[in-house]
Amino acid sequence: MSIILHGVAIGGGIAIGRAHLISRSMDDVAHYLLEDEEIPAEKTRFDEAVKATRKELEMLWGSIPENAPAELGAFLSLHIMLLGDVTISREPREIIEKQRCNAEWALKLQCDHLVEQFDAIEEDYLRERKNDVLQVVERIFKNLDGDAPQLPAPEDLVDDHILVAHDLSPADMVYFKDSNFAAFVTDVGGATSHTAILGRSLDLPSVIALHHSRELIREDEMIIVDGEQGVVIINPDALVLTEYRRRQRAWRGARRKLSSIRKSNAVTRDGAVIELLANIERPQDVEEVRESGVVGIGLFRSEFLFLGRDTLPTEDEQFEAYRHVATVMKGMPVTIRTMDLGADKSPKWLNHCQAENPALGLTGIRLCLAEPLMFRAQLRALLRASVHGKIRVLFPMLNSLPELKQALVQFEYAKEELRDEGIAYADDVEVGAMIEIPSAALVAGSLAKHVDFLSIGTNDLIQYTLAIDRNDDTVSHLYDPIHPAVLKLILHTIKTGIKANVPVSVCGEMAGDARLTRLLLGMGLRKFSMHPANLLSVKQRVLTSHLDEIAPIATRMLRSEDPDKIADLLQMLNAEPGV
């Protein structure tokens, strides 16, 4: 009998293969009491397991391949940081001593306590970090148990194996780097969980948040993973299998065709030149991007330089990172967003108190202005690197003109300091404002008078406009990029930029969604910045588009406030010529 499961679609197409179950559990932990003289040795055993886990994670971190997803190193660094937290590395020792229990039981008790704390957190993104803690604790437990994680050897996997797990950690992804498995599914994870981000970056068919897949799927059972629709089919019948094999062939054929346009310029059928740029997280990502056919870096998320470490990166460390990217891009524009820290991206060394609602608290440019020395060190590093390429500076989470003016004052201070010290920097470094908050979109005209470009961060703009948490499964169906209010704000920003002769780009998920490419073109957008995995599908949509044909349909969409009509018009907009 076939069983259909629904979860969160991560993408990567369709996979058909045999299930390979991954077993990782602490459910059957033994509990026994110790004699007083046994307690010191038990604490030492726990310490050794922590050391072994740290060594294991550091070795995995050091073996990340050059073509690995950008987020992998940051996630492993986060796990190493969590391992050093006292709640994981020290408090189980106290439990061993107070309760005179074995290390495994102490670790389980502490883990249960931490899980309760995470479950009580209201902010969904932070609550999802529970999985990172669990992954670290599981590794300590396996080292205590004297047993390696129960994962198959990479060479034992074949290209039709589909991994089925309660969860997969970034370390597991490194472990499987030489494998050829077809897809993976997990029971847990949210839209912004590390598993989801890695799934998108690896471009593998994957579905997460299935809840019961580990219980329902048996070893070597035939399953279908539809990473586009978020569906997993267990033991499909012959008719379903035939249909999905047809869909899989069509998907693979489309992918092969896309590869042929890698070196083509992004030009519409009527000759409009469109700029396609890439988003990156780490300096080393730039080598792969350089070969992808983009015309620059539209968003370098510099905050990843600050995460997964115990101390602030120095000005010189930042300079080297920015210099490397600028040099490799050989004169192409490199837009570097100043550190967008706070909220869900709070490094260990950041001592600001946790806000009740972090997404509305001290984050982005607000944090930068609250920590001017830290901010100015980054601005100095950016300016120093500007002599090695075309660096542009982007300020995140702006709310108003006064915030922008304060940021520009700090930028001028940084220039003045470098001049006094005789340190060179380029005179023509462009500065941009990020439009992520409705208030910023509405006053875009004022902002445009003081900057060289605008960049629309659609992920947060949608979230703040619709007052929903995009990481919350219970309201994720309300996260709508074609909501009339969202489209009006984007259109207003684009029109404002055109009127002020200030370039506007979109760097959020909307830029990489080929279904929305023609709509954005019809709104006047000419610069798209996205994850490299989405570049070819967006480029194909550009190459087959004619602006005169797009504009009337896009205009009708923008005038409508009827969701059904908007959806119908979007479908019409995406119909290929002659269809």
Phi, psi dihedral angles at 232 (to 5 degrees): -125, 125
Catalytic site residue 113? no
| Residues pairing with 17 in the sheet | 223
Which residue is associated with the tokens 């299935």?
A: 210
Choose, from 101, 111, 368, 507, the residue flagged as catalytic: 507
Q: How many CB atoms lie within 10 A of CB 261?
A: 16
Indicate which residue of 20, 161, 194, 388 is catalytic: 194
CB 98 within 8 A of CB 83: no
- Cα angle 268, 272, 276 (rounded to 5 degrees) comes to 75
536: closest CA among 275, 248, 284, 260? 260
Widest pairwise Cα distance in the chain: 84
* 194 has catalytic annotation: yes
Separation CA 58–CA 79 (nearest Å): 10
430 beta partners: 392
* 3-state secondary structure at position 439: helix
Q: How far apart are CA 177 and CA 230, in angstroms?
A: 24
Q: How far apart are CA 171 and CA 58, in angstroms?
A: 10
> Distance between CA 202 and CA 72 in Å, rounded?
10
Q: Within a 13 Å sphere around the CA of 505, how many CA atoms are in the beta-carbon half? A: 27
Beta strands in 227-377 (DSSP E): 231-234, 275-280, 297-301, 333-337
Question: How does strand 333-337 pair with strand 222-226?
Answer: unpaired
User: Exposed, middle or buried, 488 (CB in 10 Å: 0-12/13-18/19+)?
Assistant: middle
CB within 8 Å of 502: residues ≥ 6 apart: 448, 451, 452, 453, 454, 496
Q: Which residues contact 332 (CB under 8 A, 6 or more apart)?
A: 294, 295, 296, 297, 389, 390
Query: Encoding tokens for residue 239?
Result: 């008719």
Number of neighbouring beta carbons within 10 Å of residue 406: 17
Query: What angle separates helix 39-62 from helix 103-119, to the nearest 10 degrees?
Result: 60
List phi, psi (to 5°) of 433. Answer: -115, 135
Which residues are marked as active site? Answer: 194, 507
